[in-house]
Amino acid sequence: MDSRGVSPMIATIVLIAIVFAIAAILALSLASAPQPSVIFGGQLSLENVENGRSVIVIKHTYGDRANDAVQATSATTIGWKNLELRVNGIIQDNIITLISQGKNVSLTGLTVGTTYALVVGDQIRVQLAPAGTTLKIGDKVSLKWVPKNQTLVEVEVTY
């Protein structure tokens, strides 16, 4: 009998190599896939949203930690990262004080790119810009969780 073909040992080795190659391709594709953004599960509140006020206070009242809420954009300024405050659709990013994880963050000597999280009890004070701007009746103030474009708080100035 004249048999032709591949020996069983070679066939087994080739099949095992194919399985490992497919597993490696799947692992690489899963590892390189973008990580899903998480919806913020805590609650933030807005204070001082009243006619004539020039400073808005954002307070973390309860729930999940707000990771990377803000970040240092220079040695003396902090800007939004995962949070964003808007008044009538205009981003307000003049952060004048920050309490992050229970500690007052000094606005001098910051390391650019450093991020700050908010936990229950923390707050951010934002001075409206340009200088001299105050809230008026009818102004709309909103706070968004940027990764999911999730509106956390939306308030209209009524008094």
Total structural domains within the chain: 1
Residue matched to tokens 């009746």 = 137
Sequence-distant (6+) residues with CB within 8 A of 19 are: none
The DSSP 8-state label assigned to residue 137 in this structure reads: T
- Supply the CATH number for residue 86's domain: 2.60.40
Within a domain: 24: no
Within a domain: 12: no
Within a domain: 87: yes
- Enclosing domain of residue 135: 43-156
Per-residue pLDDT at 110: 92
Which of these, 102, 100, 53, 31, lies nearest to 72 by C-alpha position? 100
Within a domain: 19: no
Per-residue pLDDT at 88: 95
Q: Evaluate the omega torsion of the peptide bond into residue 36 and state whether it is cis, within 30 degrees of 0.
A: no
Per-residue pLDDT at 148: 87
pLDDT tens for residues 139-153? Answer: 999 999 998 888 999
Within a domain: 3: no
Report how far residue 80's alpha carbon sits from residue 71's, in angstroms, rounded to the nearest whole number.
6
Within a domain: 143: yes
Under-50 pLDDT residues of the chain: none
Percentage of the residues of the chain whose pLDDT score is greater than 70: 94
Sign of CA dihedral 30, 32, 37, 38: positive
